[in-house]
Amino acid sequence: MPHRVEASFKRETGDGETSVLTERLTGVLSRAFKLPQSVDADQAGAKHEHGVLTLTLPKKNVAAQKRLTIN
């Protein structure tokens, strides 16, 4: 994935001069991970808005889970 990095730095010298350096990260970013078995992957969703990624990971229906009693 190609990336370009930019950051912003401002430094003033004792002589009244100012040095400015600007850098910024641009490019493509991807992440992958496995969901736990308790997550309903068919109902999972993601939204990216104003630089914030929101994941919605609902749990599977509790009635569908099986509970065992140990005697």
- How many beta carbons lie within 10 A of that of residue 45, not counting itself? 9
The pTM (predicted TM-score) of the whole model is: 0.45
Which amino acid, residue 62?
V
Reported as half-sphere exposure (CB side, CA atoms, 13 A), residue 16 has a value of: 0
Whole-angstrom CA distances from 56 to 10, 27, 52, 63 are: 40, 25, 13, 20
CB-based contact 54:47 (threshold 8 Å): yes
Tell me: the pLDDT tens digits for 12-56? 666 667 766 666 666 776 778 888 888 888 999 999 998 888 999
For residues 61 and 7, the model is more confident at: 61
What's the number of CA atoms in the CB half-sphere (13 Å) around residue 44?
Answer: 13
